[in-house]
Structure 1
């Protein structure tokens, strides 16, 4: 791989959300401030939406890391759960053994008791749901009922929903209009612009340990921006492939040709030029051949 070639400790453009690579794009920083402010004021429901690949899960994990010490967080990363499964998942996150509980009513009672106990300890409980657009309607209604616990001044349970735009479509349904009315703060993540894309790429490479003149110049990043439409996940995919191509040719700089070949090999990228599409298979094929030859040479033959 290209790590040693470019002098990096780790791969900078993996798709796994890693908060050490959090760049703090304006959209993400604003969303984080909205979340922290809303939680501190004791609001019921808070919603953050964004297109696929805009960094919702990374922001979600950043929020978990930034929560003040008096918050107790229950994190649900995979919410494609029935109302019963959701109740038990929340119970588990709050340290409740729900296996011995006979029915959902008992599970709910134990959750309520636990939330009251934490409140008496001056703890605030927040339920954070990622990929919330996957929640069935009955599970969304179960969430609303959870938040009925409150004092005269604040909710005892707050809920943060991270989801794709489909979440807004689901919340628009009349059957759950009561939940929609309880969303007191909402924020929509935006895409990066061209300049932000350049600094985003530079930031990730530096976090990975690279020192020196960045392998991606402004021209290469301009192509990355156009092809990705400013979506971080697609930028990551393209940068990884472009670095592989540069490494395969023994070059220390990523050229526009490398970026174009990476674009044509990526279905999610915006395709702009059919000529480079014809070269994509050849370019990546040559890279694989070069990699195989390098391994063969290092082993002294087969």
Structure 2
């Protein structure tokens, strides 16, 4: 029996409200998330060569992308690459696969690039824009980032034929701002860094997800929410992990409200594995 089958009916929920799977339906629009999404939309509408979105692990970047994909206009051909790695030649294969362009994997780099260029030109001629999203872009090498920059040189009548959206952890911004990446940085027309949630936002976030799953939104006391913020540092993914455990603990104790002692019991039992790292981060 899974955790959701254990506590869902007990709390009157239709599903687990704190799943770790990105789900646009559960998106809580903090002011920062609204601004990040606006930057994504602006980047596409303004035909920005490169749009850059960064944030901590679990800050909600991938959920924003899922929302963007569901809202994208019909005149846009979009490709999504998640966690691409490799050097020159391998990245071009990732791009071709993301755009559903069939080519022999053993083809030479020049041939692969020509096929991609021909595809971009044909899409442009048909009135379509091509947007390539690279999630977890901090895993790319400097060579890979430079290869992406070269893609923005492919143009027709001064129009950019492919727009790039780079999404990743904070170190991605450092990589783009490195002295040897000045040409890449100059192509970034829109960028935003998504911070962690504040102590005031966390209770609202928790209540929102509970209501979305059919709950009242009052299952967690304010003291419990404050403790959750302390243990997670406001990172949405970690908040979800701790809240999921809290619902499980409260169900096992037949308690309809999650109080501070429930959160402390989880910490004392050492089942919330991210606590030590977060505590150190909060002190720094």
Q: TM-score, normalised by structure 2?
A: 0.90
Task: Say whether 1:145 aligns with 2:145.
Answer: no
Please say which of residues 168-177 and 240-249 is displaced more in the overlay: 168-177
Question: For residues 155 and 231 of structure 1, what CA distance do their matches in structure 2 show?
Answer: 36
Q: Which residue of 2 aligns with 1:282?
A: none
Please say which of residues 173-182 and 193-202 is displaced more in the overlay: 173-182
Relative to structure 1, is the Cα distance of residues 241 and 5 closer, same or farther in structure 2, using a 3 angstrom cutoff? same
Task: Say whether 1:130 aligns with 2:143.
Answer: no
* Post-superposition CA distance 1:8-64 (Å, at most 9, x none): 121111111111111111111111111111211111011011111211111122222
**Alignment partner for residue 224 of structure 1, among 221, 228, 234?**
228
SS of equivalent to 1:2 = helix
1:250 Cα shift?
0.8
Question: For residues 167 and 255 of structure 2, what CA distance do their matches in structure 1 show?
Answer: 41
Would you say the 8 A contact 1:72–1:124 is kept in 2? yes
Task: Say whether 1:267 aligns with 2:278.
Answer: no
1:249 Cα shift?
0.5
**Alignment partner for residue 19 of structure 2, among 14, 33, 36?**
14
Residues 90-129 of structure 1: matches in 2 within 5 Å?
Answer: 90-99=95-104, 102-129=107-134
Relative to structure 1, is the Cα distance of residues 213 and 146 closer, same or farther in structure 2, using a 3 angstrom cutoff? closer
Would you say the 8 A contact 2:51–2:165 is kept in 1? yes
Would you say the 8 A contact 1:101–1:107 is kept in 2? no
Task: Say whether 1:44 aligns with 2:15.
Answer: no
* Post-superposition CA distance 1:252-290 (Å, at most 9, x none): 111110112224432323459xxxxxxxxxxxxxxxxxx
Q: Which ranges of structure 2 fall in alignment gaps of 5 or more residues?
A: 1-5
Question: For residues 260 and 135 of structure 1, what CA distance do their matches in structure 2 show?
Answer: 40
1:140 Cα shift?
1.0
Question: For residues 44 and 267 of structure 2, what CA distance do their matches in structure 1 show?
Answer: 41
* Post-superposition CA distance 1:124-145 (Å, at most 9, x none): 1111000000001211111111
Would you say the 8 A contact 1:25–1:196 is kept in 2? yes
Q: Which residue of 2 aligns with 1:278?
A: none
Q: Which residue of 1 aligns with 2:253?
A: 249
* Post-superposition CA distance 1:91-122 (Å, at most 9, x none): 12222111266211111111111111111111
Q: Which ranges of structure 1 fall in alignment gaps of 5 or more residues?
A: 273-302
**Alignment partner for residue 200 of structure 1, among 183, 199, 205?**
205
Would you say the 8 A contact 1:94–1:114 is kept in 2? no
Instruction: Give the root-mean-square deviation of aligned CA atoms.
Output: 1.7
**Alignment partner for residue 165 of structure 1, among 158, 163, 170?**
170
**Alignment partner for residue 258 of structure 1, among 258, 262, 265?**
262
1:201 Cα shift?
0.6
Question: For residues 120 and 224 of structure 1, what CA distance do their matches in structure 2 show?
Answer: 53
Would you say the 8 A contact 2:81–2:135 is kept in 1? yes
SS of equivalent to 1:83 = coil
Instruction: Give aligned pairs, total.
Output: 271
Relative to structure 1, is the Cα distance of residues 6 and 66 closer, same or farther in structure 2, using a 3 angstrom cutoff? same
Task: Say whether 1:214 aligns with 2:218.
Answer: yes
